[in-house]
Amino acid sequence: MSQQIIIQNDTDLHHRIMKLNNLKEEQELVIKRNVQELVYSMHPSMMIKNLLNKVGGDGEVKSDLKSIGLNLGKDFVISKLFGRGGSVRGFISSLLIRKATDYVMNNHPDLISNGISKVQGLFKNLKQKRAEKAEV
């Protein structure tokens, strides 16, 4: 287990207390980092991303999953912004937006991927800045 420490005087005692306090702080930091990694890995987006990395080894599978996700996201955004057939004007605008997004998704998927990456980077930067402010 651990070796037996012999404390002969007050100075030895204080020195041992300081060592134990340092050891405690180091262990707390390790535990804190491990908990943060666990929470990060348990986040739903990370779970989905890890699942897709395991399942989507094939490029065609990844492409299909990406297009399915983009289509679901597109339909959700269009329905939230323009409504679904609430009026003739809403129907026409949602139809035009759907055709435009289909064109962009089919002909320029790299632009969409780059845009999503930039938005993710923006959110990560904002999150880091908030964390830095919280630390100060």
User: Is 50 among the domain residues?
Assistant: no
pLDDT at 4 over 80: yes
User: Is 48 among the domain residues?
Assistant: no
pLDDT score, position 13: 93
User: Is 52 among the domain residues?
Assistant: no
Torsion over CA of 134, 43, 123 and 108, rounded to 10 degrees? 170
User: Is 51 among the domain residues?
Assistant: no
Alpha-carbon span 101 to 107, nearest angstrom: 10
Number of domains in the chain: 2
User: Is 79 among the domain residues?
Assistant: yes
CA 31 to chain centre: 21
User: Is 113 among the domain residues?
Assistant: yes
pLDDT score, position 111: 77
Judgement on whether residues 126 and 82 belong to the same structural domain of the protein: yes
User: Is 69 among the domain residues?
Assistant: yes
pLDDT score, position 9: 93
Judgement on whether residues 76 and 129 belong to the same structural domain of the protein: yes
Write out the residue range of the structural domain in which residue 3 sits: 1-42
- Pick from 28-32, 39-43, 54-58, 96-100: least confident: 54-58
Judgement on whether residues 36 and 92 belong to the same structural domain of the protein: no
User: The tokens 């989905």 sit on which residue?
Assistant: 48
The verdict on pTM exceeding 0.85 is: no
